[in-house]
Structure 1
Amino acid sequence: LAPGKNPLEWHIRMKIAAGAARGLEYLHDEANPPVIYRDFKASNILLDEEFHPKLSDFGLARHGPVGDKSHVSTRVMGTYGYCAPEYAMTGQLTTRSDVYSFGVVLLEIITGRRAVDNARPTSEQNLVSW
């Protein structure tokens, strides 16, 4: 939260989270082939004047696995603090990688803190490990 700014009301934050979840659900379950966003983070959720969220910046998006494949192997890309640990370690990309990133965004929405904040004490800089 920027200094001097009031936090959004809870119902607005939940509206944003639910809308972003619907966007990911569409990419994962409705798009054919499925699309893995790969860089889901708060700054890629744009809001209109009524706080309706729109996903933006699909530059790192990849087609997901099809048929009997469970993952797509790829060079690890994305933003530090949002990247799923299993994807970072193996390079195996699945829709679960986006779900992890969505969880980080939910933590940001709930706590009002950033995923990574180097201005905080070392033990508090990474929101997930904090």
Structure 2
Amino acid sequence: MQVLKQYRNSTLYKFACSYKFTVLGFVTSAIAVIVLSSTMLADAIYFDDPDHKDVTLESWMTPRYVAMSYGLPRTAIIEIFDIDENVESSRRLDHIATRIGVSLDELTNIVRIAALTYREQGLD
């Protein structure tokens, strides 16, 4: 009981009680930063692995995955797949390939040629 009484008399406890919303906002922001940075770090580690670079396209992949795998900017992916970025950026590649009338193998070749062109131009 004595420890609890000391805790309630502490300066930090008084500060937290006085500025509840500020402390809550700070804690929420800290959690958001941790979650977002861990996601970014996980993506960086995953796509740094040579097994995940320039992969053959699969039906489950999204344009974002292709962009990360081939190191292409978003604008290049939008142009290659002829997509509206607000509507189809999360659609799977099998839907996109069907819409533009090519197979996934042909789409893989198109993406690889675009990636080579992009890298040769030094646009990294």
Q: Is the TM-score greater than 0.5?
A: no
TM category (shorter chain) comes to under 0.3
Question: What TM-score, normalized to structure 1?
Answer: 0.24
Q: Specify which structure has the higher proportion of helix.
A: 2
Structure number having the greater strand percentage: 1
Q: Work out which of the two has the higher radius of gyration on C-alpha atoms and give 1 or 2.
A: 2
TM-score with structure 2 length normalisation? 0.25
